[in-house]
Amino acid sequence: MNLDLLKQILAVPTCSRQEQRMVEFLVEHVRQRGVDRCGEIISDEWNNVFIRKGRVEHFPCVAAHIDTVQPLRCVEIIQKDGSLIGMDKQGQRTGIGGDDKAGVFVCLELLERFENIAVALFASEEIGCIGAKHAPATWFEDVGYIIEFDCPGRGLVSYTSSGERLFANDGEFIQTAAPVLQVHGLTRWQRHPFTDVMALRQRFDFSCLNLSCGYHNWHRSDEYVVVEEVEAAVNAGEALISALGSRSYPFAPGASDLAAPLYEVTGLQVNGISELQPEISQPNQEPVPNPQSQGSHANRYAQTNHPTT
């Protein structure tokens, strides 16, 4: 894994509606690495970035968002044991936007591990998935499925995002993915606040996943990224794409899928600063805010991740 690249990405200032520096960084990186390693990169008027490498009827696609909630300013990235933290110019601890720059890094690593792969990096996720909602539909015509990396910590898998189902319970997509997720310790199924796959599922009929990528204390000044967990996300992504292959796994919008959930699904609950403590919920339960999360970080997570309008 290219740790230097991870540090470089974490150091790029970017926030919602002001992702230009990240767009420039990504375009420069991909062009420098060359078409053979990284394919072709384009960006659109929303600051979304799209990369396509190889030639195949249906592309596996990985995704992340390039905006953060952190202020737009330079951050020094410091490695402390196995974690990366951010310091500002005054030497104060500051957020590094691991949410979701860690996910962006995972996508770039996976880009170089496959001959046929697509990468979608969305702008302005944090203010309501603006980039994903406006991304050009034509770009997704040959996308077979999407794996997004925008869950905190390790081991988390989104069952739903803002109540939107990401895959059919009894479909081939999850039947193929589930054993791989299990092997890679991605076993904590959650109903998550929104991220881009929610918006994509509302627009397109492919199956999606959203997985942990190693960031902690998201949206806070003491945010940090655990290198080992980022690497685990890259390895899980590689194994998933190898298993799922270059093919299409449709899940039509509004498709009736009455099969019971395959897994125990929990709400996202956070105890203390960074510990994630899943709470068991009943099968088929409607996604509701966790009653015990009043005033907790989980509640703030939900608030800050939902559009206010």
Judge contact between 65 and 125, C-beta under 8 A.
yes
User: For Zn ion, which is the closer residue by CB, 109 or 150?
Assistant: 150
User: For Zn ion, which is the closer residue by CB, 182 or 304?
Assistant: 304
Among 150, 196, 223, 229, binds Zn ion (CB under 5 A): 150
Task: State the amino acid at position 51 in one-letter form.
Answer: I
Choose one: 141-149, 150-158, 202-210, 226-234; the region binding Zn ion (CB under 5 A): 150-158
Q: 191 in helix, strand or coil?
A: strand
176, containing H or E segment: helix 172-183
End-to-end CA distance of the chain: 40
Minimum distance from CB of 60 to Zn ion (Å)? 21
Choose one: 33-41, 147-155, 159-167, 274-282; the region binding Zn ion (CB under 5 A): 147-155
Cβ neighbours of residue 24 under 8 Å, at least 6 residues apart? Answer: none
User: For Zn ion, which is the closer residue by CB, 97 or 144?
Assistant: 97
User: For Zn ion, which is the closer residue by CB, 23 or 198?
Assistant: 198
User: For Zn ion, which is the closer residue by CB, 180 or 198?
Assistant: 198
Backbone phi, then psi, for 50, in 5-degree steps?
Answer: -130, 135
Q: Write the binding mask 82 to 101 for Zn ion: x where contact by CB under 5 A, - elsewhere.
A: -----------------xx-
Minimum distance from CB of 57 to Zn ion (Å)? 31
Judge contact between 17 and 67, C-beta under 8 A.
yes
User: For Zn ion, which is the closer residue by CB, 60 or 193?
Assistant: 193
Q: Give the single-character DSSP code of 53.
A: E
The helices-and-strands tally (H runs, E runs) of the chain is: 9, 18
196 contacts Zn ion (rule: CB under 5 A)? no
Minimum distance from CB of 205 to Zn ion (Å)? 24
Cα–Cα distance for residue pair 14/199, rounded to 1 Å: 21
Cα–Cα distance for residue pair 258/144, rounded to 1 Å: 23
Choose one: 23-31, 43-51, 54-62, 142-150; the region binding Zn ion (CB under 5 A): 142-150
Minimum distance from CB of 103 to Zn ion (Å)? 7
What number of residues does the chain have? Answer: 309
Binding site for Zn ion (CB under 5 A): 99-100, 150
